[in-house]
Amino acid sequence: MTKLIRSHARVTMTGAMSCLLFFAAGCGPVAFQGQKAFAVTGNSAPAPATVEAPVRAKVAVSGNKITIDEKVQFAHDKATILEASFGLLNEVVKVIKDNTQIKKILVEGHASSEGDKNHNLKLSDERAHSVMDYLVAHGVPKDHLSAKGFGSSDPIADNNTEDGREKNRRVEFTIVDPPASGEAKK
C-alpha cells in the first residue's frame, strides 16, 4: 500500500512538474491524458461580446409634463417620501435645473378612489407638498413650484381593479410656464 501511495505521489508530482515546465517554457496550456502531458493547441473561443442596453432616462420633459418612469414612493397613508425615491427625485431636480426655460411647475398629487374622499384629497395634497419641499431643499427655486392635491378626481386607470388603483396613486409634474404650444399662459 505504501509503495502504491509513493508511486501515485511520484506520478502526480511528475505531472505537476511537467505542467509547470510547459508553462514556464511558454508552450501554452497543458492537459493530461493518463500519465502523459500534451500541449493544447488551437484558438480559444472568443469572449462573448457584451452589449450594453441603452440607458433610458427615468425623467424627461415631454410637452407640458416632466415625465417619470417610476412612482414616487411614500410611507403607507403618510406624506413621508421613502428613501427609495430619492434618486428619482434627484433626477427630477437635475432635469428642472437643466431646462432653464421652465419657469413654473405644478406638483400634482393623485389618489385612488379607495377610502374616504376627503382623506384622499388631504393626503394627496400633503404628498404633493412633500415632493415640492424635497425639490426646494435640493436646489429648485421655491417660486418655480406650486403643489396641489387632486385626490381621486383625475384617475388615469380603472379604480375597480388593484392595478388601476395603483396607477391612480401618483405624483405628476405639469409645466405651467411656459405653457405648451397652443395654450394660453395662466
Looking up residue 159, the CATH number of its domain turns out to be 3.30.1330.60
Are residues 107 and 144 both part of a single domain?
yes
Number of domains in the chain: 2
* Mean predicted confidence (pLDDT) in 52-74: 84
Residue in the structure block whose three cell numbers are 381621486? 152
- pLDDT, tens digit (0-9, with 9 covering 90-100), for 125-161: 999 999 999 999 999 999 999 999 999 999 999 999 9
Do 77 and 121 lie in one domain? The reply is yes
The cell for 123 is: 393626503
Cell readout for 40 is 493544447
User: pLDDT value at position 13?
Assistant: 43
Q: Residue 179's pLDDT is what?
A: 78
Q: Supply the mean pLDDT for the chain.
A: 80
Q: Which of the four pLDDT bands, split at 50, 70 and 90, describes residue 39?
A: low
76 and 151 share one domain: yes
Q: What is the mean pLDDT of residues 95-123?
A: 96
Instruction: Tell me, yes or no, whether 98 and 170 share the same domain.
Output: yes
Instruction: Give the range of the structural domain holding residue 6, as residue numbers without chain letter.
Output: 2-39
Backbone angles phi, psi at 114, to 5 degrees: -65, 145
Query: Is 47 contained in some domain?
Result: no
In a domain, 184, yes or no: no
For residue 74, the 8-state DSSP code is: B
pLDDT at 119 over 80: yes
Same domain, 125 and 171: yes
Same domain, yes or no, for 34 and 87? no
Provide, for the chain, the percentages of residues in helix, strand and coil under a 3-state DSSP scheme, each rounded to the nearest 5: 40, 20, 40
State whether 35 and 64 are in the same domain: no
Tell me: do 27 and 93 sit in the same domain.
no
Residues 34 and 74 in one domain: no
Q: What is the pTM of this model?
A: 0.68
Same domain (yes/no): 80, 134: yes
What single letter denotes the amino acid at residue 85? S
Residue 168 lies in a domain: yes
Q: Are residues 16 and 94 in the same domain?
A: no
Of 35-49, 63-77, 90-104, 151-165, the one with minimum mean pLDDT is 35-49
Task: Choose between 60 and 34: higher pLDDT.
Answer: 60
